[in-house]
């Protein structure tokens, strides 16, 4: 094809790399060039060191990674399946008010996998490097974006310029592209900060994701492949800052009390890192030749661990829209094309943001609300259809079926 369109992707995080890999290995791989821009080099996964940043990937996310040919490598390197989930409030993790989800109840081998950020980015980056129509440009910090009639022009800090047909912004919650494209957002900060670390315990994590709702915010313990657990502990910011400065013994003692013995005595803790929490949603996902995806378009509370899965669903949707437009001979940067992606994802993302926000507010209510919350947990535990629906939603099974149909069409056209 003479002068094929160029898809620019801002941001070499998991969502940006997955979007680029879908386009560079999919049904229209020979119809467009893909260029990923990022200021920093990709991290390289190391088998002797577990990345502090991990994600709980759903079945839909796993299938996306299978489609671009990297899931086998990821699973073989270090991906930890979690087969059960236990949610509770109060002191007893094993009491009658706890809510249990088991993958066996819906005929699935697991509820998802815990995977490191560096492993995903290494696998996706290598897949992109092997694609003839794709390129990753490091040291490319975006300074300005100019939209013209048939192209978008990106000026880079320190000199340099790139031209594309469309610019997909996957450059995070502080997206420079979103700001330069003047796409407004709504949202609020939670006055909470999440502490992330890996902990060793005397007891087994039992391939279970544990979550306790505490007055200051939820605490999640996610099973790792090496037997440790990754914690994501949401706390009022002042309390989080105090615990970040505490010694290891003091921190482990307070964390042990918060886990209420779910995985036994805690024996060691890795370096602690923290990040402030916010809910944010772009009022528009697209303008002429520019579209937002992942955290550039929306951020949610981490209590359900679904932020990355929502971003990967964005990646699958925008790749499908661009491929369909290429096959139809359309201009892939035209706003009418990009709005198709916005219509597919904006409503679902906003609904999920609102649900997680409401859940966080519910469990932050004072003690008088405890009986109501306990009643709700017992009702879900007793209602098998409701539990099944919640598990299928968490797995992304409906989304997976939709994209499975898309991938089947792609295979039949190959």
Would you say residue 98 has pLDDT above 90? no
DSSP state of 43: P
pLDDT of residue 94: 83
Across the range 124-152, mean pLDDT stands at 97
**DSSP-assigned states of every residue in 85-104:** EEEEESS-TTSTT-EEEEGG
Q: Residues 26-36: pLDDT tens digits? A: 999 999 999 99
**What is the C-alpha separation between 345 and 353, in angstroms, rounded?**
12
- Pick the closest to residue 262 from 94, 83, 85 (CA basis): 94
The whole-number pLDDT of residue 371 equals 53
State the average pLDDT over residues 374-394: 51
Average pLDDT of the chain, as a whole number: 89
Judge whether 192 and 219 are in contact, CB under 8 Å.
no
115-142 average pLDDT score: 97
What pLDDT, on a 0 to 100 scale, did the predictor assign at position 96? 74
The mean pLDDT value for 325-345 works out to 97
Residue 36 sits at φ, ψ, to 5 deg, of -100, 130
Q: What is the pLDDT of residue 93?
A: 85
Res 280 pLDDT > 50: yes
Per-residue pLDDT band for 369 (boundaries 50, 70, 90) equals very low
Tell which residue, 348, 395, 377, 364, has the closest CA to residue 99. Answer: 377
DSSP 94-138: TSTT-EEEEGGGGT-S-SEEEEEHHHHHHHHHHHHHT-TTEEEEE
């Amino acid at each position: 094809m003479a002068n094929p369109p160029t898809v620019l992707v801002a941001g070499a995080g998991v969502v940006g790399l997955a979007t680029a890999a879908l386009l560079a290995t999919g049904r229209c791989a020979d119809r467009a060039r893909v260029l990923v821009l990022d200021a920093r080099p990709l991290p390289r996964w190391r088998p002797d060191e577990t990345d502090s940043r991990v994600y709980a990937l759903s079945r839909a996310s796993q299938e996306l990674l299978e489609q671009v040919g990297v899931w086998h490598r990821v699973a073989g390197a270090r991906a930890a399946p979690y087969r059960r989930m236990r949610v509770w409030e109060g002191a007893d993790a094993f009491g009658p008010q706890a809510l249990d989800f088991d993958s066996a109840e819906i005929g699935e081998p697991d509820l998802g996998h815990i995977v490191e950020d560096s492993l995903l980015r290494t696998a996706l980056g290598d897949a992109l490097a092997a694609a003839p129509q794709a390129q990753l440009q490091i040291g490319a910090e975006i300074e300005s974006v100019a939209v013209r009639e048939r192209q978008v022009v990106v000026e880079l800090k320190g000199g340099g310029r790139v031209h594309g047909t469309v610019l997909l912004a996957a450059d995070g919650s502080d997206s420079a592209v979103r700001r330069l494209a003047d796409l407004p957002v709504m949202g609020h900060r939670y006055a909470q900060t999440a502490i992330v670390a890996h902990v060793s315990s005397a007891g087994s994590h039992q391939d279970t994701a544990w979550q306790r709702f505490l007055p200051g915010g939820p605490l999640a313990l996610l099973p790792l492949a090496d037997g440790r657990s990754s914690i994501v502990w949401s706390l009022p910011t002042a309390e989080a800052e105090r615990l970040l400065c505490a010694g290891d013994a003091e921190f482990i003692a307070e964390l042990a009390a918060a886990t209420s013995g779910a995985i036994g005595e805690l024996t060691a803790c890795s370096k602690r890192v923290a990040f402030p929490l916010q809910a944010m949603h772009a009022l528009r996902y697209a303008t002429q030749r520019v579209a937002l995806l992942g955290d550039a378009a929306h951020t949610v509370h981490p209590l359900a661990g679904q932020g990355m899965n929502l971003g990967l669903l964005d990646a699958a949707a925008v790749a499908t829209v661009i491929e369909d437009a290429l096959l139809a001979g359309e201009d892939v940067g035209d706003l009418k094309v990009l709005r198709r992606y916005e219509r597919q994802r904006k409503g679902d993302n906003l609904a999920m943001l609102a649900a997680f926000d409401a859940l966080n507010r519910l469990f932050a209510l004072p003690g008088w609300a405890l009986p109501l919350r306990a009643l709700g947990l017992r009702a879900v535990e007793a209602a098998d259809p409701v539990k099944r629906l919640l598990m299928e939603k968490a797995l992304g099974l409906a989304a997976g079926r939709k994209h499975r149909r898309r991938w089947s069409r792609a295979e039949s056209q190959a």
